[in-house]
Chains A and B, each alone.
Chain A
């Protein structure tokens, strides 16, 4: 059975086409103003990669903040359910999932069957979300993909006293004006991010194996700092891009769904 999952986020949208347990095609694109258009586009790209067309798909499940606006999906499921399911596929031993997206972050516990238990989310405050890193990367004039690597080269990472993105941004600008090295500032930024995420994660009581999903799972600086703060190793998914977790979960739920 070939199914598709569409995860429409506020910053990026993801689509995955799966047959059983295998990914046939996937895509990640920047979200546009209209969720329907973005969903259409990202699914088309995933289908293209799979060498398939819409008619090959038996069922498509939508998730993410824009899911109710996608007219071509058969069903919609919550982000929590999809991320939990996707994380289980990515890291079968996962019991705690930390998902950091463009504008939100969540932490959830999975039981031995991969069902989601306790979870906490933050979609109200930019701190601890991908946006925090985007804002800071912009101030540093560093591409966001490069921000993570700065931590390893930092000699004395700065301390950002404020949690709030607005105040932290002002702190970063001051450090820049004081000619602090980009590596030390970058390290400080990643640490600050990890600090905020750790508070969220600890609220669900972290249990191994811990895995991270979402775009920020590609930032090694945040991961290493977070590991220290939660006192657990974080398993980075290797089977597929961690940013696809929601879409993968949606595609799998499409197969399993009633």
Chain B
């Protein structure tokens, strides 16, 4: 039985297709302004990636900020619950998650069954989200994909005192004009990012083991800075961190589908 999990965010939509708990196909696409359309496109891309047929999908689970608009969803689940589910399935010893997306950041702690105990998210302020890095990469004249490596490679760092993306951008420009080492500035940018997210995570008291997910988890510089800021080890998932929400949704969908079958 194939089950699909679809995570519709504001910048990207992700789809994961599971069979017996194993990922058979997945896709990440740019979201359109219409969540329902994004969901369809993401699922379509995953089906193509796995050479699967839409008719074979027995159950569709939706999550993400656009979930209520996914017309084809058989069930929808909260993002936090899906993230916890996915993290736990990939790493049974996980008890906390920090997820940084393109436009938001969340932290949650959960028990061994995936029951979410506490969570906190920021979807109001661009600071501590992927957007911060995007803007800084542009200011530094560096490709976003290279930012993490450059941060790791830098020996020195420069402290960026502003948390607000708008003010930090001006501060970085001043640092560049003052002739500061680009590598040190980039390291400082990653530390500023990490500081903001660590504060969010600390506010709910994240405890080991902490997994780091979301598109920004692919940035090793942020991962390192965040671990340092928290004083805790951060674990990566074995799957693409960006699809964890969709993965969790699919798992929750599979459970619901199975219990539905048993009930009838």
- B174 and A165 form a contact (CB under 8 A): no
Pick from B124, B162, B167, B178: contact of A164, CB below 8 A.
B124
Q: Which residue of A lies closest to B134 (CB)?
A: A166
- B166 and A135 form a contact (CB under 8 A): yes
Pick from A33, A131, A163, A167: contact of B167, CB below 8 A.
A131
How far, in whole Å, are A90 and B124 apart by their CA atoms in the complex? Answer: 37
What A residues does B131 contact at CB under 8 A?
A: 166
How far, in whole Å, are A135 and B165 apart by their CA atoms in the complex? Answer: 12
- B124 and A166 form a contact (CB under 8 A): no
Per-residue 0/1 for B96-126: is the Cβ within 8 Å of any A Cβ (1 yes, 0 no)?
0000000100000000000000000000111
How far, in whole Å, are A126 and B125 apart by their CA atoms in the complex? Answer: 10
Q: How far is the CB of A56 from chain B (nearest CB, A)?
A: 35
Confirm or deny: B164 has a beta carbon within 8 angstroms of a beta carbon on chain A.
Answer: yes
- A166 and B163 form a contact (CB under 8 A): no
Chain A: number of interface residues, binned into ranges = 10 to 19
Q: Which of the listed residues B131, B135, B174, B177 has the most CB atoms from chain A within 10 Å of its own CB?
A: B131
How far, in whole Å, are A125 and B125 apart by their CA atoms in the complex? Answer: 9
Sample of 7 more A-B contacts, CB < 8 Å, known A124-B164, A131-B167, A164-B124:
A33-B178, A126-B166, A164-B125, A164-B126, A166-B135, A166-B165, A167-B103
For residues 124 through 139 of chain A, which have their beta carbon under 8 Å from a beta carbon of chain B?
124-126, 131-132, 135
Q: Which residue of A lies closest to B125 (CB)?
A: A164
- B163 and A165 form a contact (CB under 8 A): no
What B residues does A167 contact at CB under 8 A?
A: 103, 126
How far, in whole Å, are A76 and B229 apart by their CA atoms in the complex? Answer: 36
How far, in whole Å, are A131 and B131 apart by their CA atoms in the complex? Answer: 18
Q: What total of A-B pairs shows CB separation below 8 Å?
A: 34
How far, in whole Å, are A164 and B131 apart by their CA atoms in the complex? Answer: 12
What are some 30 contacts across the A-B interface (CB < 8 A)?
A: A33-B174, A33-B177, A33-B178, A103-B167, A124-B162, A124-B163, A124-B164, A124-B167, A125-B125, A125-B164, A126-B165, A126-B166, A126-B167, A131-B166, A131-B167, A132-B166, A135-B166, A162-B124, A164-B124, A164-B125, A164-B126, A165-B164, A165-B165, A166-B126, A166-B131, A166-B135, A166-B165, A166-B166, A167-B103, A167-B126
Q: Which residues from chain A sit less than 8 Å from chain B, CB to CB?
A: 33, 103, 124-126, 131-132, 135, 162-167
How far, in whole Å, are A33 and B174 apart by their CA atoms in the complex? Answer: 8
- B163 and A163 form a contact (CB under 8 A): no
How far, in whole Å, are A135 and B164 apart by their CA atoms in the complex? Answer: 14
What A residues does B167 contact at CB under 8 A?
A: 103, 124, 126, 131
How far, in whole Å, are A163 and B126 apart by their CA atoms in the complex? Answer: 10
Pick from B124, B135, B177: contact of A163, CB below 8 A.
B124
What B residues does A166 contact at CB under 8 A?
A: 126, 131, 135, 165-166
For residues 152 through 167 of chain B, which have their beta carbon under 8 Å from a beta carbon of chain A?
162-167
How far, in whole Å, are A190 and B121 apart by their CA atoms in the complex? Answer: 28
For residues 174 through 188 of chain B, which have their beta carbon under 8 Å from a beta carbon of chain A?
174, 177-178
How far, in whole Å, are A11 and B30 apart by their CA atoms in the complex? Answer: 37
How far, in whole Å, are A103 and B162 apart by their CA atoms in the complex? Answer: 11
What A residues does B174 contact at CB under 8 A?
A: 33
Q: How far is the CB of A190 from chain B (nearest CB, A)?
A: 18
How far, in whole Å, are A16 and B162 apart by their CA atoms in the complex? Answer: 30
